[in-house]
Structure 1
Amino acid sequence: MAVVLGAAKILARYKNVLNGNIKTIFQPSEENTGGAAKIVEAGGLKNPDVDVIITPHVWHDIPKGKLGLRPGPVMASSDLFMLKVDGVAGHGAWPHMAVDPLPVAAELILALQRIVSREIDPMIPACVSIGKMEYGTAANVVSKSVAMHGTVRTFDLEARDFIQKRIGEIAEGVARSARASSTMEYVRVMPPLVNDPDFVEFSTDVLARAFGREAIVADYPATMGCEEFSVYLEHVPGLFLLLGSRDPKGPAVEIHNPKFLFPEECLPIGVRALCEIALNYSKTVY
């Protein structure tokens, strides 16, 4: 937010020479609460229409003073699912009189891992992870149901559809084989984040002239993390610009780690980068 505000204050000084319009978005309710979708629904990319969009983001794997720009996929899609297996409640002393959903859930967790390892092309990045389970009230009770919560990540839209379909099919089949039943809730949280190749090329040339070619990092790896900026990129081409924060003298501290300290020297770099791209785009395109 500070970088965008700083860039807006500087660009306002050039409003008489700018061609076109520049919008700044200070988005509320980031990520799982869906602020980006609400901005789009409210017409934030319209009147006037937005041609390209850019956001800066601090990144721990890129050294301080450098800028990360790569075309194509940068972050994965993010889906959340909940599987509920229902059996028949009973007592731990008489399991034969119950249908215990817990071993069904254990078998199901293992079965879901076969989707990626045996049903998805090995060249397509994808992962299915179970992160939470809810079961049981006492040590000697066979509870009626167990709930599993997980996430799916991939860059490939066909794989995303296929994985969702297979999770439901596998859950139903495994549950039925044990005389239990299953239900699934599946929520598509964010699409993959894909940088526009043409805008990346344009921005790379601009920033290389401003900061030097050595300041540009184009070979950083894509990540299975997710980012809500991807919602805007479904509607307009754009760039997820990474501001390096890693101290070259020490180990990288991941940005969600409580020990992560934002290096304030990134601020002027980010501000200048946004201004350079905006001013040059205004002169070149309009």
Structure 2
Amino acid sequence: MSQTERLPRNRTYLMCPPEHFTVEYAINPWMDTTVPVDAALAVKQWDLLRTTLVDLGHTVHVLAPVAGLPDMVYAANGAFSVDGTVYGARFRYPQRADEAAAHRDFYETSQWSYQAAEHVNEGEGDFAYLPEAHGGLILAGYGFRTDSKAHAEAQEMLGRPVVSLRLVDPAFYHLDTALAALDDHNVTYYPDAFSVSSQRVLAQLFPDAVLADRADAEAFGLNLVSDGRHVVLNTEATAMAEKVRAAGYHPVPVELTELKRGGGSVKCAVAELRP
């Protein structure tokens, strides 16, 4: 990738504090119910992430947590927004189903155009938007948490072309564990998380992508948030931080060890709001 000047763009995000965060069930390979969560540390780490984003100049709205919904901290999964329209989530597992209503209340109260989903999808966990790539492109993952039928539904509701990408490794069950937007037109991804055909599609669409390896992905190094210059990622992903630095971005490490216990990191905890 060429060493061009990386310019940040102010973003608006939605986060939900982990006041009720525990690992009481296992719905992905990272969740271990035998290891207790340090609740106070989870809140402290989450607040550091929120503060980091605010200090970078971004706006962060906070969604009120709901008792009995321990995974609400993974705010990216509750919906996906483009141009003021919100495609609501419909969760795969019943343990998380009620999160969708909490997100819907937030958007409707904030006067967004909220579209309820008919097909199973887990919001921005399986959708990424690149407004300057090929005229505005949505990348959408399926294979574990989101039904491929949701991709056509999202395209109709959001009016943007959707590229379907098949995830094949259970360790990387959401798109945002295997791919991330680095700016408005380019991505980083771990090729082996995708089917061979999906790898071909990604290589054609993003010839300048930053390629990650399995160690990067297992460190949740792809579960990042970028404003086009600053790449916020967890402190364990040291090799990934060097890869984005070499590509001209500025890595900003944040420690999120407790949230990783539930199978998520920076991006899982942050939904981008696109008015």
Question: For this structure pair, what is the TM-score category when the shorter chain's length is used for normalisation?
Answer: under 0.3
The structure, 1 or 2, with the larger RCO (C-alpha pairs under 8 Å, 6+ apart) is 1
TM-score (norm 2): 0.26
Task: Return the index of the structure with the highest Cα Rg.
Answer: 1
Question: Which protein has the bigger strand share?
Answer: 1
